[in-house]
Structure 1
């Protein structure tokens, strides 16, 4: 009998991956019209798995590079999806509400989160700045139920379009503020010595490079693909999956090599593709492949987060951490977002949706890992716990209430 039931680590990894793949295939479908989102289910599975089976200690500070690369890939796939969904990316009406969230809500949210990190959690100023930067982007991954229409279809919800457009941009715009925190940690709080260099290079030039490279590579990829397959039957034979990877990897890699922000490059490259409505069928297949890939990696990531929460649940329910997490989710983003939309043509329901559903998620984990691998910040364990708690309560609150919004959008959300 010693020949049978031999347990090897590699085989267990494959078993684990297979179970997650099954979850990723069926869970989003099961919970599609429920008051319960797929990420909540994955978190519960992870927490239960830790207490029932695993009891395996995960120290995220020892696996930051793995966390950074995994979350980076998920965000890239989600940004490409967001770009493909926006049908008129180069018209002002697409951005007139999202621009307020980006220009007003995001910076004030960063300042408020920085203050709360310093005042409530006792973070050093540079660490508080990092918390402010990493918690500022809304998440294109977890907002799936509140994203705009599929590629080629009319953007029939003002609030959904605004959330998708905001999420597509601000995952890249969090980078300059992450660098601001890194500079503060490296060079001190005498900002006059380095703020000019930060503003020129980390803010202006890198943003311009990211957007420019994204637009150029998106246009070139479109011309190459649709010139090669000028006949529809030829286009049908081009692999949607491989093309999706090209649309993600090429803009990102080129932007990063040149020195721009790759997140912005991917979103704008995908936006170039989305503007060609006559190729709706092919845009849909690109989007569908990305969505399936995204579902699989999201399942892995949130089960792991659930395990971490189970392992450190005492830290997650610490009063200070709960306070700052709920303040960010229930007060700061909703209030600042709502105020930024004053004097627009939106009704109260639309303002509520755009301001309240600033979901915190995988982008925050990426910036957390990026900041902590770039340089040492004080109280890294507390920062990890605070970030995880903020994401946990955001996923819980926004996931449970998103279905209510879905049911009321057709009634209260004006169709343009």
Structure 2
């Protein structure tokens, strides 16, 4: 038998063994998915050349593919051959597409798995962007003569961004239906710096990838908000009902949650609310104002924290502060009112309404501290009231309520 065993037979046996490993690996990575093409077993062949994968391959040959799957989820792609990186890109794309098709993101583990697969799709193609020779040879093998040299050059140059484009396409397809997989894809585009780090890219390639991810994400968020923007404009152009405004803002809040607390949604709601809220405020329609404000609580709180952390967000300070002041007017207790007004004033001390409302509330608290006979008041209530009135004077010295508050303070000593 040894006399007739040829090199071709050895190669065939090796390929069959690789295909068996691939079957076990794919069954572990994407249960229930259509089998990969046998050509994908080339990934296993290339992995056999890596010393750090041999034990995992041996385990897969024995029926346990879990260690091998872990090896296919590297935290860095530096040192991986371009052909193997290309296989990884195709493998994780097939895995992600299977999860998306089944909408298999109902558990935390499933969401994490899809997120990691998408990050690797982006990272592998960015890493291949460093391998111009490999990409050019591949392009010539596939399309030699079918396209002019200039087109091939452009295709090779565009390859580095292909993974990000795939991620964006997944998000775009599910954005209207608010699918879970699309939300994860949108979130991955917002983690471009981590994707670039996995790729091991730096310099111009890293900058290009991050700019591309930012542009794609911005485009997708605009797509998500466009129907809401149209509805808001249509409402503003006619006689509107508070429930209609609240409905749009509720859907904006839901989109904000779906998109992973997207800052553009926060900006949208604090920008659009005042045109409706002021009408209700001036008409003293407090229940209606409360109705339209309720959906904005979490998004406006989130934006307020961003503004405090990041000077780049200061352009939104006045609009966000005004939302907090509206909320302060309707809070259920005086302490809650002052807390919200303090936050609005801290965000934008120059906002007149923030100064007016906070100073007025401080006077209200001071007057409350001074109520009743002095013998029944807390020992420090007079000093606390004085501090509130002094601060109100500093914040808004023209407040009409101040003279009465000062007089009550003087009488209560």
**TM-score past 0.5 threshold:** no
TM-score calculated relative to the size of structure 2: 0.20
TM-score (norm 1): 0.20
